[in-house]
Structure 1
Amino acid sequence: MPNSARSLIAGFALSFVSAVAFLGHAPAAAAATPTVTPSAVFKERHSKVLELVKKRADPETLAKEVDQLLDYKALAEASLGGPARYANKCAPRCAEFEALLTKLIRENYLKRLRSDKKYELTIVGEEAKVGGDMRVITNIALTRDGKAEVVEVVYVMHAVGDTWKVEDIITDGVSLAKNYKFEFNKIIRDKGVDELILRLDNKLVELAKKN
């Protein structure tokens, strides 16, 4: 897959310095099953974010809308190998780690939407996964360097209360969750959680300078 295409939606990858991760999350406790389909929730939330980006909405308004789509807690746990390993991997700086990760996920998501002159998302369908998660399958039509591209992007969503939120993004068959999990754990194994937090913090500063 062309690097330019992957960087669009995958934007959270380690070209972006170990920023995010998805996958693996604690089962929701006896929550009501959402009455709206995951594809409908995704379309509504994503469309609102895209509309706000085009209108150049203020950062706080944008953040609130993106937060309705992404499950940051699940993402933070996934990035370190799942909820069973999370506390041991990030202690004693778990809260700081999660806060930085949340900001980076949000900012990079918005950055990618802002950076593309042409961006068309079509929902192809949805399918159930074992365990109750759902995959919302989309095609992204975009233009990079004057060339038209179409990328398949699958948003893996799980029920959170009475709605659905994104816990993984699969671009042309490549799971971001697995990539981030590998990168984060490698950094912690080699240099510790302090180094991981430092890199996330540095990346956040870098993104702020470019805005």
Structure 2
Amino acid sequence: MTRLASLAFSFALALALALATASTAGAQAPADAQRFLEQKHEAVERLMRQDPSPRRDQQVTRMLSGLLDYEELAKRALSNHWDGLEEAQRSEFVSILEQLVERNYRANLQRTLSFEVRYEGAEAQGDAVLVRTEARSRENRRAPPVSIDYLMQREGRGWRVFDVTVDDGLSMVQNYRRQFDRIIEREGWDGLMQRMRDRLEQS
């Protein structure tokens, strides 16, 4: 597996395993966020153990779609570029980013059944909560575990993930920011959007 493919799978695995604007994280927030993540993961795992069917896949996709805060992810990944965009540009970017991320984790959903997740604790980080987990292969006990950290913000009665870090490497936001900055510098905003549209059409 190439480094790029490995990274893409890691983030897809992280989102699928998680299953799961900001308010200040109170004393109970870390425990609440971890419990929310655990419940979402258990619900998706139950669905994934059913016989494969279009209905099952649609249910899982809907559940996963509510897990990630795509607008917050886009805003943080684009950083200073976000402020200079018109509302229509922001909407299109978020929509395409969401479709690309969802396509990636849908392709890896079945593989998540071969992993078990252990929750390592949660802590407040400013207005967010960091939930630490460890995923270990059920099929290869000698394989090293994968550490997956989720940054979450409260939204209504639930929580949403806006960044994921796998094995203490680059986070999802950092990885996207590095790619987007490089493309925008060379090809401009229109070049980035065309690349994303082309990638989406390849599905």
- Shorter-chain TM-score: which interval? 0.7 to 0.9
- Cα RMSD of the aligned pairs, angstroms, is 3.3
Which residue of 165, 169, 176 maps to 2:172?
176
User: TM-score when scaled to structure 2?
Assistant: 0.76
Unaligned runs of 5+ in 2: 14-20
How far does the alpha carbon of each residue in 1:6-55 deviate from its partner, in whole angstroms, 9 at most, with x for none? Answer: 5443249xxxxxxxxxxxxxx5379x998770011111123323333343
Please name the residue that 1:10 is paired with.
11
Whether the 8 Å CA contact 2:23–2:154 is kept in 1: the answer is no
Count of matched residue pairs: 189
Q: How does 1:50-61 map to 2 (within 5 A)?
A: 50-55=45-50, 56=52, 58=55, 59-61=57-59
Q: Distance in 2 between matches of 1:8 and 1:133?
A: 25
Q: Distance in 2 between matches of 1:161 and 1:38?
A: 12
Whether the 8 Å CA contact 2:121–2:132 is kept in 1: the answer is yes
Identity of aligned residues (%): 24
Q: How does 1:1-211 map to 2 (within 5 A)?
A: 3=3, 6-11=7-12, 28=22, 37-55=32-50, 56=52, 58=55, 59-81=57-79, 85-89=81-85, 93-116=89-112, 118-129=114-125, 131-142=126-137, 148-174=143-169, 175-206=171-202, 208=203
User: TM-score when scaled to structure 1?
Assistant: 0.74
Q: Distance in 1 between matches of 2:103 and 2:27?
A: 30
Whether the 8 Å CA contact 2:116–2:138 is kept in 1: the answer is no
Whether the 8 Å CA contact 1:90–1:193 is kept in 2: the answer is no
- Give the Å deviation of 1:143: 6.5
